[in-house]
Structure 1
Amino acid sequence: MKNFASLLAVAALIFGGSQSADAAKKVHTIGDSTMANYDESATITRGWCQYLQQFLDGIEVNNRGKNGASSKSFYKEAAFWTSVKTQMSPGDYVLIQFAHNDEKTQGMDGDELIAYYKSIGDDAQAAATDYRGTNPSTTYKEYLRKYVTETRDAGCIPILVGPICRMYFSGNDIRRNGRHDLGDNFSKLTSSGVLTSQKVAASDNSMDYVWQMEQVANEMNVPFIDLTTATADLYLSYGDSDCHSILSDGDGSTHLSAVGAALIARRFAGLCREAGVMSEHIRLTSDLSVSPSAADLGRGYVGQTLTKELMVTAFDLTPAAGQLTVTAEGNAEVSTDLTEWSKSASVSYEGGTIIRRFSVRMTLESDNNDAKIIVSAGGKSTEIPVTASAVQLSGGTEVTAYWRLEKDDSYTLSGPATVIP
């Protein structure tokens, strides 16, 4: 997988290029897996920046969130920050959200910890230490400053974004570490070794990544969008059970479902408008909308079935309760669960709000691969064109392989193929 990643890095550097003078303005999003794009056909996990585009007009989202990235690793690994900079043009925005993976070494800097273990001859412990970790008061702030400085050097506008919370409930509150403050339990590297299970008072912000980010924002006169507090408030409004069943992807307390990601993207856009940041591009309409606005299923072989997920959002619908209906015309079918497919599907909504994903599929024919979807709810409707390209091929067997690359290089394989390390 390292060789494969290297090839991707080279491709990004070769083809990234800088934008032409008349290219659309962009907002580049850098951060971790809570922002990243996910394969719609392989997982229900979604990053909130996957849905940011539907709340913006006149600006293009270039989502470069990376699974497992910390402020340090995203900067040091050439395939990421270096390649993002090749895509930036003067006047673009750069959203900077890190902390989740900066906490990998319990508040200590990973490189400093590795150097300490090597100095005492403990090579095994050094090898087992995650270099991505940063200390919130020192190296974390240093990397944030690097992003801000280099973004400005490129003629672009940096925006520091508080990382979304983890769903760590404690009664009617989110625990301190869920808000990225390790003050209740952290480790400290001293000249005599590592001290574990350290604690500081709630008023002590030395181990609070979000507080330290805000200090950098104040120091460097950068907009700070407190998405940490906003997501804590969102999670608490749902409560522990519903938060995990509706907003989470069902695998722990960090990653998001499509509903959670869309809600957070919309809240972020609202916070930007309140702060006067990118306000000319913010679109918080209550109209029924579908993202993406055109379903391009891509290219495949005749007889192959291609699938794409779409997200329907609507707010302040009248009546407040009713049915969302999705109807397919032409050579297409729709599904709300990826199990039952038909020409039409309906789901209920309440509270005047819809944040719902559905999928469209098409089995490719030699021609006639254009279709459309009609989405209706609350007396409103919208049409989405569906397109795909077919390639003629005789014989062969379809093979797919998917690596999530969040925790390790495990994969899922379908078809007669051998996957090598």
Structure 2
Amino acid sequence: MKHNDPARTVRPYILLLLVLMAFTAPAPPKKIKLYLIGDSTIAQKIKQTFPETGWGMPLGTFFDSTVVVDNRAQNGRSTRTFLAENRWQPIVDALQPDDYVLIQFGHNDEAKDKPDRYTSPEDYRRNLLKFVAETRAKKANPVLITPVTRRKFDKEGRIMETHVEYSAATAEVATAQKVPLIDLDRMSRNLLQQYGADGSKVLFLQLGPDEHPNYPQGRNDNTHFSELGARKMAQLVVYEMRAQKLPLAERIAKPLPKNATLTASPANSQPTTP
């Protein structure tokens, strides 16, 4: 008389269950690219200019492994020169559905004293419209960002707005085209106000003589960021993505502080709500 082996009887059912689970398990999120276009405030830097840091450099650290940051921003570029140098078309050609393009210009567009890069407000708007339309044509997602502030305080210690016309133009295009807008100009000014006129120096490329071998004469730069400054600006951008509930925010790797503008302030400053 033969006895059935219970293990042999159960084993086929286990195998069948595993096969069914393999077919019914949700597919992992597909990887998407996050393209950055803009100027030196966001761009990758070379080691010879360290500790100068563009805020696009630490941006990828805020997302999980399904987001690949492709930073195409370049020093000294305006919307006009970015297009004229054929830096935009390769991005358009590479865009895939659900990718993102973060667009932040303005610093060089508004430089009337530099005709090689200056772009009139009217042409600036047209160029932003082109970026938006061609991104959407590839079923990707444009996000407009107002130009990040420069460090400029008045005698009473109040932060001054340095990109009035071009920030307004960016916001106008965003409203007209129903594009998400990250008002980094406003947010970065609020951040600098909380650090104060002196305390905010740590966010920028402010170095004394012989403080760093790349800058033996020192550096007094109120436009470009230190490592800390770049990270804080990137944090503001990601914080606003979450606040606006952009789909990209679902891929943020770690929870952000409740109020990103109040974190990691210098020990000798007293943050206040502006």
TM-score in same-fold range (> 0.5): yes
**SS state at 2:52 partner:** coil
Alignment of 1:131-280 (within 5 A): 131-136=116-121, 138-170=122-154, 171-176=156-161, 178=162, 180-181=163-164, 208-244=165-201, 246-250=202-206, 251-277=220-246, 278-280=248-250
Distance 2:196 2:94 in 1: 40
Taking a change above 3 Å as real, the CA distance of residues 233 and 43 of structure 1, as seen in their structure-2 partners, is same
Aligned residues: 219
Deviation at 1:283, TM superposition (A): 3.4
Match of 1:46 among 44, 53, 68: 53
Is residue 24 of structure 1 aligned with residue 31 of structure 2? yes
Q: Could you state the TM-score of these two structures normalised by the residue count of structure 2?
A: 0.74
Identity fraction in percent: 32
Match of 1:285 among 248, 255, 258: 255
Q: Does the 8 Å CA contact 1:266/1:284 hold for their aligned counterparts? A: no
Q: Summarize deviations over 1:271-306 as a string: whole Å, max 9, x none.
A: 11001122212234369xxxxxxxxxxxxxxxxxxx
**SS state at 1:252 partner:** strand
Distance 2:94 2:42 in 1: 18
Deviation at 1:99, TM superposition (A): 0.2
Distance 1:51 1:101 in 2: 22
**SS state at 1:169 partner:** coil
Deviation at 1:69, TM superposition (A): 0.7
Q: Runs of 5+ in structure 2 lacking a partner?
A: 1-28, 207-219, 269-274
Match of 1:94 among 98, 101, 106: 101
Match of 1:105 among 104, 112, 126: 112
Q: Does the 8 Å CA contact 2:239/2:256 hold for their aligned counterparts? A: no
1:417 corresponding residue in structure 2: none
Distance 1:222 1:91 in 2: 14
* Structure 2 counterpart of 1:173, one-letter code: R
Which runs of at least 4 in structure 1 moved beyond 6 Å after TM superposition?
A: none
Give the root-mean-square deviation of aligned CA atoms. 2.4
**SS state at 1:60 partner:** strand
**SS state at 1:249 partner:** strand
Q: Could you state the TM-score of these two structures normalised by the residue count of structure 1?
A: 0.49
Q: Does the 8 Å CA contact 2:153/2:197 hold for their aligned counterparts? A: yes
Higher strand residue share: 1
2:71 corresponding residue in structure 1: 63
Q: Summarize deviations over 1:341-364 as a string: whole Å, max 9, x none.
A: xxxxxxxx969xxxxxxxxxxxxx
